[in-house]
């Protein structure tokens, strides 16, 4: 959690950042969800990371993650409808 909270700080090196927290145990520890039910927690982490400047997301649930990330990107864009 400390690393996730500090994600924006890693952008100072101006290098591509990759995050891989899909279905990780810390999500289960926080939510009580078994591995198969950690999609929401994984999406929350992916959205947080993209908002903090992460460019690459490693995930098990590609379609759902792409949709969540595209929504965040659209919300950040002034010209979105």
Q: Using one digit for the tens of pLDDT, what is the confidence trace for 29-75?
A: 999 999 999 999 999 999 999 999 999 999 999 999 999 999 999 99
CA dist., res. 14 & res. 6, Å (int): 15
**14 within some domain:** yes
* Confidence bin at 76 (pLDDT 50/70/90): confident
pTM over 0.85: yes
How many CB atoms are closer than 10 A to CB 68?
21
Model confidence at 3, pLDDT cuts 50, 70, 90, reads very high
Residues annotated catalytic, as ranges? 24, 58
Which domain range does residue 70 map to?
2-76
Q: Is 42 part of any domain?
A: yes
Considering its fold, how many domains does the chain have in total? Answer: 1
| 77 band by pLDDT with thresholds 50, 70 and 90 | confident
Residue 59 lies in a domain: yes
Domain contains 81: no
């Amino acid at each position: 959690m400390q690393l996730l909270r500090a994600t924006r700080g890693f952008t100072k090196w101006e290098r591509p950042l990759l995050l891989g927290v899909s279905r990780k145990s810390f999500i289960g520890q926080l939510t009580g969800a078994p591995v198969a039910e950690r999609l929401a927690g994984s999406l929350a982490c992916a959205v947080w990371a993209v908002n903090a400047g992460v460019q690459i997301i490693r995930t098990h649930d590609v379609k759902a993650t792409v949709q969540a990330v595209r929504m965040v990107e659209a919300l950040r864009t002034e010209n979105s409808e």
